[in-house]
Structure 1
């Protein structure tokens, strides 16, 4: 399949979860893909998965860097230009919810800076640095946010929630600015998705599995009764990056959460039980 044949795509945070699934899907559709992250072994595995999906070796570009480092960002961009000659699509997928033993309003200021550095500032920097190249190709940007952005609160991790809320507003602002040059900007807001996200927070597999099972089994958490898969979100990202299929979608954050953001506490209970009938 050659849906993205000849298109050059950068995907940050490609070594796991949603980024990995997105890289494999773009490769299947014939794209030239730059995958990035800090773990060279994981990126090598992802590269092999992309080849098995139908990607060509010359269309896979691996860049091992720290995205929060300015030189690392420059390396991603320059490597892509050297390898593919242009940038058509930027997927700002890298993000994290860090833990340092503090929660709620007791979260440390150091954690605030660390969280915003990867979830928001790195996106701002990548867009600023790729803007001129995306204008040349009339390209696409897809930012990966989260339903933690609100409007419902996430009091246990206010910095993560606030960073994603900032990303949503930045997406809207940039979308209006760049569409005059033919560049489309949108975002995706996943709910609970089975990835290595909790592992990155330092939690073991059994804790992540327990948390996911808890949420999937309760309709006040996930009405659909199942956690999302990385491939579910990857399909949506690829759709938004496809000018032929999503040309009139500008500055939107598309939610994919199994219904989680639709539920207020009262909705989780049967009305007859509430009324004593």
Structure 2
């Protein structure tokens, strides 16, 4: 028996990065998992990685859909219950950041950028959690949200709307935790710092530019004191810890920061990364 045997997990944004690492880890630890993302090809890569680790094929449900739509969310929850009969763990990992079409930053960014970011990073979490609630209550389950150290308290003028969405998510985590613990459902979150994922490319950043960003961060102790970017599995391990009732039962409504020490110094704020990326 492994620690998540008999459990069912739904991991959003599991076609790459932290979501993929989390889905693979939970499946390896015995959970039946629903994986989802918009890119069907990348989602299939996640499924194959799970199966290659020895997980039975019928323990994985793959759904390519748009999480930003309630139709997509209904499909996720309903299909998970139809196939597995329950839902124990909801990992709200899907997130996005978008650049202004005209390259504007700070308060000059078009409000349409704000709307797009809040739609996926905040509104989808609210509505998907609502749809999953009755099943999580039955299972006395766990919700783990994926936030970011960008939520503050330091300012993030370049990626202001993204930071705002994560600050809102932190408050949602705290408030939802107190609301749902009366039903036996725990809500917590993890706040990653700089992690090697496909997030930069998804924003439209060339691969070499994201690599340049990583080297810059790792080479400066005022950015990442431990001297290295995080890996998706580093965050996945924390998500699994928060989803494990035996190990983290007394943690309610908290966010675990995993950033290599960045928030203890936050010297990265002294650098203009837009200038760096133009070099």
Change over 3 Å in CA distance of 1:162–1:109 after alignment to 2: same
Structure 1 unpaired stretches of 5+? 269-277
Per-residue displacement from partner, 1:174-225 (whole Å, max 9, x unpaired)?
0001001000000000000000000000011100000010011101110010
Q: CA RMSD in A?
A: 1.2
Quick one: which of 194, 209, 212 aligns to 1:192?
A: 194
Aligned-partner Cα distance in 2 for 1:4–1:56: 14
Structure 2 unpaired stretches of 5+? 271-279
Aligned-partner Cα distance in 2 for 1:163–1:66: 19
Number of residues of Structure 1 aligned to a counterpart in Structure 2? 267
In the other structure, the counterpart of 2:148 is 146
Query: What is the correspondence of 1:69-218 to structure 2 with a 5 Å cutoff?
Result: 69-100=69-100, 101-218=103-220
Quick one: which of 247, 250, 256 aligns to 1:248?
A: 250
Q: Runs (4+) of structure 1 moved beyond 3 Å?
A: none
Aligned-partner Cα distance in 1 for 2:41–2:256: 32
Change over 3 Å in CA distance of 1:247–1:75 after alignment to 2: same
Shift of 1:148: 0.1
Aligned-partner Cα distance in 2 for 1:38–1:48: 17
Aligned-partner Cα distance in 1 for 2:160–2:152: 11
8 Å CA contact retained: 2:223, 2:267? no
In the other structure, the counterpart of 2:273 is none
- Check if 1:35 corresponds to 2:35: yes
Per-residue displacement from partner, 1:89-145 (whole Å, max 9, x unpaired)?
000000011112221111110000000000000000011111111000000000000
Aligned-partner Cα distance in 2 for 1:96–1:190: 14
